């Protein structure tokens, strides 16, 4: 018999036998009759359904905003679910007051989700209140009537009312969130863990849910599902045995903010802003992006350029597979049905290594790529000792540019070398015309992205003017 899901909803404990695949959005509106969490796109794009999820780690609860339209209710076990109703105070909160003062709401449909995300940003420990932090919180929200200038202006109000101190306890102390938050850590400790997180014979496995709910959302609440995120052993990042070892259920946000990753990819925050909103990054998993096998998976392309290995587990046995050779055809993997991706291994590399990522989509940020490109290059004195390049949107699979990498290795960087490499790339790729652009447009994009990447990485050796067409 399946266990009931037990969690804290705002200030009260909930024990429910709701189907574990039921969306948190639907559970709130249909089961709990809580209408402050709005139903908008149901694809994680508009942010109207944003809630805050608190998860106990040692003696503290870490809070993050998520889109409730992509999260299964079964994953709530042992967590704290906070909705707009759970943030209300006798008077306006600092976030609500700032929105009122700036006239940053009109129809109000998107406002609850925006209040939730801005509050989640202030709940982060030791975070800075800045234009960037406000933009980050607003990144997953669409507002069709107010625009965003008035919302961004809320930053000055936060600095006046909150100052520099952020975090849950700081907000409680200054009356920014309700006092019941103080008791949440001790209350979560009392919730017993599930004895069998996944059961058996699941028809669907749900990790971040950012794709499966869009593709199969209508049937998940009636199907046998396995909630993968209940398996804590498949999360986390560590450095061991010459690798950065990453659990396959590690989220985009956990990956991008971990010191091991920020150390080797200093610009990772800038890249992540192009890839997905904060609310999606807290849900989407690296393993899900890889197994999804989308030809334009942003994190897959980046991990492929990092020469990553995959650890596939089958019962008590396991094997390692290079990500560069994992894709055998469209949605065809070097993986059996009984194997589970448990880890991603990034090999250690020298301090001389440079990493770069580029992406072009119809919207500048947070959209599916038309073409993306990632590269890792080891260079000394303008000599390429080693290089790995991967690209998406130009083949049926995430494509490792094997021939081009071999050509560039042990060569001196120059305009002519790069031009020859671009010509070789055009032979390696096979784009098609689709909703994201014509095949000719995609060929042009990869041409431009390669030039931009090398000029950015080697400004003392190459200039963009060298590549201008001359008439």
CATH of the domain at 339: 3.30.465.10
In a domain, 194, yes or no: no
Lowest mean pLDDT among 128-142, 280-294, 399-413: 128-142
Asked whether residue 199 carries a pLDDT value surpassing 80, the answer given is no
Walk across the sheet containing 237-240 and list its strands: 237-240, 243-247, 340-347, 309-314, 317-322
Does residue 341 sit in the same domain as residue 417? no
In a domain, 206, yes or no: no
Predicted local distance difference test score (pLDDT) of residue 37: 97
pLDDT cut 90: percent of the chain above it: 75
Residue 376 CA to chain centroid, in angstroms?
21
Does residue 26 sit in the same domain as residue 171? yes
Helices 111-123 and 131-138, axial angle in degrees (round to 10): 130
| Residue 254 lies in domain | 233-347
Does residue 82 sit in the same domain as residue 113? yes
Total number of domains constituting the chain: 3
CATH of the domain at 367: 3.30.390.50
DSSP state of 251: B
DSSP H or E segment with residue 60: strand 60-67
pLDDT tier at 243, thresholds 50, 70, 90: very high
Does residue 390 sit in the same domain as residue 252? no
Asked whether residue 434 carries a pLDDT value surpassing 50, the answer given is yes
Does residue 65 sit in the same domain as residue 176? yes
Asked whether residue 370 carries a pLDDT value surpassing 90, the answer given is yes
pTM of the shown model: 0.93
Does residue 365 sit in the same domain as residue 326? no
In a domain, 145, yes or no: yes
- Residue ending a domain, among 321, 347, 373, is 347
- Residue ending a domain, among 347, 368, 395, is 347
What is d(CA 234, CA 342) in angstroms, rounded to the nearest whole number? 6
What is d(CA 15, CA 442) in angstroms, rounded to the nearest whole number? 51
Asked whether residue 349 carries a pLDDT value surpassing 50, the answer given is yes
In a domain, 202, yes or no: no
In a domain, 215, yes or no: no
The predicted-structure confidence for 297-325, as pLDDT tens digits, reads as follows 999 999 999 999 999 999 889 999 999 99
Does residue 286 sit in the same domain as residue 408? no
Q: What share of the chain is helix, strand, coil (3-state, %, to 5)?
A: 40, 25, 40
Does residue 59 sit in the same domain as residue 184? yes
Going by C-alpha positions, the residue among 284, 285, 193, 139 that lies closest to residue 5 is 193
Mean pLDDT confidence for 231-247: 94
């Amino acid at each position: 018999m399946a266990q009931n899901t037990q969690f804290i909803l705002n200030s009260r404990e909930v024990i429910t036998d709701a189907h574990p695949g039921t969306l948190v959005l639907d559970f709130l509106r249909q089961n709990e009759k809580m209408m402050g969490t709005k139903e908008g796109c149901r694809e994680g794009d508009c942010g109207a359904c944003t809630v805050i999820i608190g998860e106990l780690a040692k003696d503290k609860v870490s809070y993050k905003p998520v889109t409730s339209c992509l999260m299964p209710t079964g994953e709530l076990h042992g967590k704290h679910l906070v909705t707009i109703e759970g943030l209300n105070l006798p008077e306006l909160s600092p976030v609500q007051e700032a929105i009122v003062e700036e006239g940053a709401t009109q129809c109000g449909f998107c406002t609850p989700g925006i209040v939730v995300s801005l509050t989640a940003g202030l709940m982060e420990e030791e975070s800075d209140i800045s234009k960037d932090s406000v933009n980050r919180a607003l990144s997953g929200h669409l507002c069709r009537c107010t625009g965003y200038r008035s919302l961004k202006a809320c930053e000055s109000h936060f600095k006046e009312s909150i100052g520099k101190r952020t975090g849950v306890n700081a907000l409680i102390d200054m009356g920014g969130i309700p006092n019941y938050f103080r008791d949440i850590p001790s209350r979560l400790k009392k919730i017993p863990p599930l004895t069998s997180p996944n059961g058996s014979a699941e028809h669907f496995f749900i990790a971040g849910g950012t794709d499966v709910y869009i593709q199969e959302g209508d049937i998940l609440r009636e199907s046998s599902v396995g909630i993968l995120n209940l398996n804590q052993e498949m999360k986390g990042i560590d450095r061991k045995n010459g690798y950065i070892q990453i659990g396959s259920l590690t989220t985009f946000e956990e990956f991008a903010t971990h010191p091991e990753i920020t150390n080797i990819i200093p610009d990772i925050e800038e890249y992540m802003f192009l890839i997905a909103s904060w609310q999606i990054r807290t849900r989407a998993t690296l393993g899900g992006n890889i197994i999804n096998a989308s030809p334009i998976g942003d994190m897959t392309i980046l991990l492929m350029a990092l020469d990553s290995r995959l650890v596939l587990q089958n019962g008590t046995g396991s094997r390692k597979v290079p990500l560069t050779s994992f894709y055998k055809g469209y949605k065809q993997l070097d993986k059996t049905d009984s194997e589970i991706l448990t880890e991603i291994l990034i090999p250690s590399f020298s301090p001389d290594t440079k990493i770069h990522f580029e992406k072009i989509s119809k919207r500048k940020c947070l959209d599916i790529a038309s073409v993306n490109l990632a590269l890792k290059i080891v260079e000394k004195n303008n000599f390429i000792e080693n290089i790995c390049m991967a690209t998406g949107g130009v083949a049926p699979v995430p494509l490792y540019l094997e021939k081009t990498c071999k050509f560039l290795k042990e060569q001196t960087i120059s305009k002519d070398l790069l031009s020859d490499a671009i010509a070789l790339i055009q032979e390696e790729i096979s784009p098609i015309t689709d909703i994201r652009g014509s095949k000719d447009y995609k060929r042009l994009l990869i041409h431009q992205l390669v030039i931009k990447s090398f000029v950015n990485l080697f400004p003392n050796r190459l200039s963009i003017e060298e590549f201008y067409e001359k008439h």
